[in-house]
Structure 1
């Protein structure tokens, strides 16, 4: 039977609340009652005294109006406006009473918003606070208290329910989590700071688990999803275990503890847990102390510092930060010191959320079935025995939310990530270059032959180091998201019959995108809001969630010449070169040329500026040789003024013909199409007769020379912050040295699309059949194959799935999810077989220098979570390896592929088994700065999967199994969507089976894919 709870006491209403509520109530009454009374007096609706006929209609339309028609129109509009608003108020009242979202009326969103605001504000006057009901001690399920054992009042205090809310509560990527109750069974937890009296009851609490949303929690515990607003209002702004809080965006994360209304049902059942510990003590960090010293003082052994680390990881400290690095603790922090278990303490309660009625079993339960036992895939894997008796306890997909819940050891450097340079480039510039590299590698796969491997930089080479450094970059908005936000701004401006905002600079911080305008504009386009006469701002979360504007294929690229120039303390600085017209970079000559070199490289590689013309002098010839000619051209600098002089009157003539003042206005009016895409000239020392291009003139000049008539300048000292004028903005400039540019040119050249006859990667000898070529191309096993060894039933055998999103199966049961860096450690060892300590430091900490204590702490926590048999201690030779029973789907794939290529009789069966393991692109779903070391592995796996899919499709076509061939090709395209070889196999299979429609769709999809990747592609 579920325990009962007293309702929480809402906070007392203030005088301001009452005043606002009274004002809103008066406004509702005035609009709904007063307006029709006034209209009935001054503008009543009357029936016409003369009935109209068809014969009288021409005369009525042609005779002069005496003003009566205008009065009739005004009267109809006034009554219609009243009816619209009144209808919205009635709907909002009904929806509020029923606790459901109000239905959306087409074209009446403005009226519904106003009505919702007034009704919800009036609710402040009508809401009442219920009395506090005292209760005797009852069995409760309370929110877990902090490790210090002190219950926070905020954990049990509620808030009055709001009367409106979004109908679409969302959840972040979930994970499995359990929690312990905050108090002992049979005892209520008193609220600190309250008056003395009977023990106060606490509200029910649920722990967010995999797949939960506010709506689903309301359905499960309150009987209807429409009551999600009550859960939201109880928890808005309430601190959660990971340090975050619930906001109006409605994102909830696994592991969060959410207060529930008192009438919540189907609450987690309490099951006996392990013996309770004595109340933990708290230690305040003093200057000079380390975790080792604290452990030696309180626990008697300094080597037990990981216990203190684990007990405090992720807990918010008084200064607002959290413990993530065992080598970094600050004076004033309050750390929980774990104590030994007391045999006399009453047992605590462990809370486990029940599964929803009728819901399918979670993936963790699916993994309980031993692989190969009764599985349909068993028939195609006859030689694989993973140990049917080995229990697979859980499957944990890797995601960021999981790491946050676990109090993971990943450094949280959100602001620092924005304010960092990578090889001297900003994060956006680095991400743009990696995007270009990814595009080229897809094109390499397009023409790759069976048994080949695409060309990649040599391991540990300068180009390889440059790529791994660039992959560390992350941005609050991806380049597609930033472009979509600006595209939405353009579409909505055009719909509202407004010119495009004259954006001069943009500041992208971790949480906000600011647009700085040339002219004052107090009427921003949503979701932007005006923060000053010349500044609009929008949260990055709002821009990510903003739906693309209605289909608008005619919308031009609104701001095609955006480029980053550096960063402030918390934001990336982006300049609209069109607004500058001419940008002069002055200061220290070396620093100025480095900054110009960085800007040119970004313009030539980033998709943020993918449709402009860029013309430089011979100093960028090496970069131009590695870049598509449509992106960058080199010319004699002496001809640049001539080219500009020829372009300038041509653009001016077109502008005059369409009646536009400049290219931005013409782009706003959508006239001239691509005529308004700018051409950027790069000239180190322009002659005196060079006329500097004006803003939005269709031409742009970048120079390190001196031009008195150019107001836009960047002053770059040798070792100090730069300054952008006329914005008066100080920032750290991006600077790319000649040696780093050479590394990037080498990287891009390696990834250049090969000719049809060019061999890349491993050459395939002439006359070699495809199975033999594919066999020789497979990498050697990462570690010894242990498939013939039987697993021990009492241990959990770990399985690491890499042929799709990362999954770690077979984890021992634990309420603590596997941390993000721990997951990366396991994946690295699964792919590489072994690693030394310094190698782990390089890949897991992105080259940042860490000491042995930090690495050992990670290994200790990971070993505690996965079991020592799955991650043994370091070998005598100094290498870390996974345990002999650990398997991976990539390892199984290679085993089956080798068997298939060696046995013609069993080839089809083995290859079908191998391809059944493929779920998506290898290591799919990684964020930008995750697994910076893994791209070589991803390319290797993708090539091996494509080879297997092509060979299987070919074999099946010879047996006239067109359906199987089509399925094989499709499986391969999951791993590499640009393989022309697999598209040919799929199209051929579709045509042989007579499915011409599918063949045409495949051809169209291939054409679209290649057109997006290759500007020179011709079908």
Structure 2
């Protein structure tokens, strides 16, 4: 990047020399090859007929050089003209060599000049990148900025800037070799590690030159996961080793709408999300294989790493939009969590191989954007209610690289948190604050329609449309209808919307009866018992008749006291009501008047839906298999524990580099100040991967810490491994904690002297469960290692490789906690039983097994108020996670409160 810029003056000098030196030199030395007067005819003939003394040959040579110089000057002039005007350079016969030289020279000159022009005056030049073949914005962001998600920063910084060839960057997916892209200053995302005794005011004074700017640092880091395991929530509660981002401007300015300033949307476009803080631990054993050899599927909440996985500038993959993908994956997560609540002690849930549909969904999901849109609309709803202002009628919404835009049916004054772009267009304000608990969803029929150029998603409010007709063949119409149906079924703002499916979607209705109603024909659908408290949308793959149009019009007009908000149907020979929106679905895109652009419609094919339905059904009723090593975990309320012995001192992890994953991820025994702050999180993740996957190959490391689409390059991988080896250093025997690969070990691993709490936990748990009468001290020491949910502080998008391990760790902790609670109860030590259950609930907060243990403990203690309070807490927690309590739990609560045995 900088080398090219340094070559530019030299190349410019060569260019000027080519243009000016030859004619000046020829004129200065003209006496060598030209006579001192104009020759007459006799003299000219004498030159041609007498023996040449070298002067004629020199004249011919000079003439040929002069012609070549003219060709080169003409080629340079043409190249300059074409680049200035963005035109194509014509290929002149006989000028090929000259045009190639001119192109090369101008590329170097203009590239360097543009790069230097891009650098602001001052001590810190603007960094730039020269595009080479094979480059993409995500690749450039990953290589230059450390995170592929920052490609949007690069795009925004260079959008519309004229490039050396006269063109400019308009489409994020279209780059041309030779372009010079400005990059954000590294200081825009500076991070520091807190030293002992430091305060935010001191850091602001030292780093920003103004102690009064401590509040900016606090606002920028509030709630971020930290190495201490305690997110920053108070200006006076920073801890040594915490990693803080530093602002660079006195005040953040929006500029780009919601994405530029909103703290939630900014996660998609700004600095690399904070990875897991540094993490404690003993030599890990190779993780157990999934039951029956199945490959573990990724489970939320561990979505694919946005900093590496989101290598597309589009919110759409394979016709599926990012909002729909995030909603469907949330549905999978809820069902799988519900199924885990029914796991029997000592068993594990067999994880099926991830299907095609789930892989496609993970490739495009944008969960952060779903949350922002939902909270923004609910905040708008509350603000309108609090200020007694009517909500505006919404026609369409656009989500994309430039944030969130609303398009209204009529012009009106903006309502917070939105600001007006035009009289009928609102954007999310740069300083907008979204409420965590806001009002009801104001637009329950808002649905993803498709995407426009560049991948931005377009949503429309079906209530404003009233009737939408689809013009095209049945198969295409059904794919669009299925996408609309499922998008509404999983959207958080449409939680009270019921979808009536006519002549399609029977299997969808079977797997989601709470949201879908299936009818074979229009007659049955229009004469159903519409629930008055719900919002209804009717979707039909069969054309309506005249009577159906009349009846649906009555329902839409509210004549029957039914909230039928919209009807979407295939075209019925012109029978649609006046004013219906019509979408042509035969072509690749259709013009949508609500947005005023061509939109490529979102689609879910029947085959995709069938795979989706099967996967959801499988998530509801997974196979449970017993685990041999946990065979002595007692069923609930059975088994006699051994007499309680005094507990041995808790295991103390040695003072050496050690990994802790049974709670917030931490790496202790290594000084975080010895590595670059922006590399720290990635190095901790690499150490965790090697510790939990001993023998990992180079390709496995590249793929699992990168993505399928953009794995780590060999240089990136070796660079991180080398940094980690240098950082951790050597053990007491002089061997590195990150050994070099050798034939004896094969693959990469951490040394045997590197600690890991999961390995210690496994050793203690398996030893404690090895006999029919469990060893309470061993199990208690194992449980004492638990400090929260495994990998609990990992932000969305990081450690995606750990999803199956998280489940295995959580299930193992619940089994150990249940075994201890059961043993302590039978021994009469109710406080210890309560502590065991509560410690296990730190790892799995909604474990009904442990809640049932806790309920029995409180009942045995004669504390019915605590029984009721515990039951209420569990019910509220399950409701917040959209889970239904197991029948066994409900029956136990009823039995305990009624006094029945």
**Normalization by structure 1: what TM-score?**
0.53
- Matched with 1:946 is 814
- Matched with 1:542 is 432
Deviations 1:336-372 (Å, cap 9, x if unpaired)?
xxxxxxxxxxxxxxxxxxxxxxxxxxx99x98xxx8x
- Matched with 2:122 is 153
Equivalent residues of 1:418, 1:474 under 8 A apart: no
Equivalent residues of 2:694, 2:749 under 8 A apart: yes
Q: 1:612 to 1:974 in 2, by over 3 A?
A: same
| 2:200 aligned with 1:217 | yes
Which of 452, 461, 470 is the equivalent residue of 2:361?
470
Equivalent residues of 1:505, 1:515 under 8 A apart: yes
Equivalent residues of 1:450, 1:947 under 8 A apart: yes
| 2:472 aligned with 1:582 | no
3-state DSSP class of the match of 1:804?
coil
CA deviation after TM superposition for structure 1 residue 255, in Å: 6.1
3-state DSSP class of the match of 2:748?
strand
Equivalent residues of 1:900, 1:911 under 8 A apart: yes
- Matched with 1:492 is 383
3-state DSSP class of the match of 2:458?
strand
- Matched with 1:960 is 828
Superposed counterparts of 1:459-538, under 5 Å: 461=354, 463=355, 466-475=357-366, 477-510=368-401, 512-521=403-412, 523-538=413-428
Superposed counterparts of 1:373-384, under 5 Å: none
Counterpart CA distance in 1 for 2:800 and 2:359 is 5
| 2:294 aligned with 1:431 | no
3-state DSSP class of the match of 2:790?
coil
Counterpart CA distance in 1 for 2:218 and 2:542 is 58
Equivalent residues of 1:586, 1:713 under 8 A apart: yes
- Matched with 1:601 is 486
Counterpart CA distance in 2 for 1:323 and 1:498 is 37
- Matched with 1:898 is 766
| 2:842 aligned with 1:974 | yes
CA deviation after TM superposition for structure 1 residue 802, in Å: 1.6
- Matched with 1:748 is 616
Structure number with the bigger relative contact order (C-alpha 8 A, sep ≥ 6) is 2
Superposed counterparts of 1:999-1010, under 5 Å: 999-1010=867-878
- Matched with 2:301 is none
| 2:633 aligned with 1:770 | yes
| 2:559 aligned with 1:701 | no
Which of 665, 668, 672 is the equivalent residue of 1:809?
668
Deviations 1:423-443 (Å, cap 9, x if unpaired)?
542222111112111211221
Q: 1:217 to 1:1012 in 2, by over 3 A?
A: closer
| 2:825 aligned with 1:935 | no
CA deviation after TM superposition for structure 1 residue 946, in Å: 0.9
3-state DSSP class of the match of 1:595?
helix
Counterpart CA distance in 1 for 2:665 and 2:822 is 30
3-state DSSP class of the match of 1:870?
coil
Counterpart CA distance in 1 for 2:632 and 2:216 is 67
| 2:350 aligned with 1:452 | no
CA deviation after TM superposition for structure 1 residue 898, in Å: 0.4
Counterpart CA distance in 2 for 1:978 and 1:541 is 36
Deviations 1:871-922 (Å, cap 9, x if unpaired)?
3344548633333223322222111110111257772222222222222222
| 2:623 aligned with 1:760 | yes
Deviations 1:458-510 (Å, cap 9, x if unpaired)?
3xx5x2x5435433445374544433322222222122222222112222235
3-state DSSP class of the match of 1:703?
strand
Runs of 4+ off more than 6 Å? 220-223, 231-237, 250-253, 257-260, 321-324
- Matched with 1:830 is 691
CA deviation after TM superposition for structure 1 residue 530, in Å: 1.5
3-state DSSP class of the match of 1:602?
helix
| 2:545 aligned with 1:687 | yes
Q: 1:642 to 1:980 in 2, by over 3 A?
A: same
Equivalent residues of 2:633, 2:816 under 8 A apart: no
3-state DSSP class of the match of 2:810?
helix
Q: 1:508 to 1:989 in 2, by over 3 A?
A: same
3-state DSSP class of the match of 1:948?
helix
Deviations 1:389-431 (Å, cap 9, x if unpaired)?
xxxxxxxxxxxxxxxxxxxx985788x6672334542222111
Deviations 1:766-806 (Å, cap 9, x if unpaired)?
x97535999xxxxxxxxxxxxx9x99xxxx95422222222
Equivalent residues of 1:713, 1:725 under 8 A apart: no
Counterpart CA distance in 1 for 2:868 and 2:478 is 51
Counterpart CA distance in 2 for 1:259 and 1:604 is 43
Counterpart CA distance in 2 for 1:704 and 1:803 is 54
Counterpart CA distance in 2 for 1:717 and 1:440 is 36
Equivalent residues of 1:207, 1:256 under 8 A apart: yes
Counterpart CA distance in 2 for 1:1016 and 1:815 is 46
**Normalization by structure 2: what TM-score?**
0.59
Equivalent residues of 1:410, 1:821 under 8 A apart: no
Counterpart CA distance in 1 for 2:382 and 2:486 is 30
Counterpart CA distance in 2 for 1:574 and 1:584 is 16
Equivalent residues of 1:423, 1:470 under 8 A apart: no
Equivalent residues of 1:714, 1:723 under 8 A apart: yes
3-state DSSP class of the match of 2:592?
strand
Structure 1 portions without partners, runs of 5+: 1-149, 157-205, 238-249, 261-320, 325-362, 372-383, 387-408, 550-554, 652-673, 775-787
- Matched with 2:446 is 562
Deviations 1:802-855 (Å, cap 9, x if unpaired)?
222222233356131345544443333333433333433432332115454554
- Matched with 1:843 is 704
- Matched with 1:677 is 535
Q: CA-atom RMSD, angstroms?
A: 4.7
Counterpart CA distance in 2 for 1:470 and 1:927 is 19
CA deviation after TM superposition for structure 1 residue 1004, in Å: 0.2
Counterpart CA distance in 1 for 2:391 and 2:547 is 33
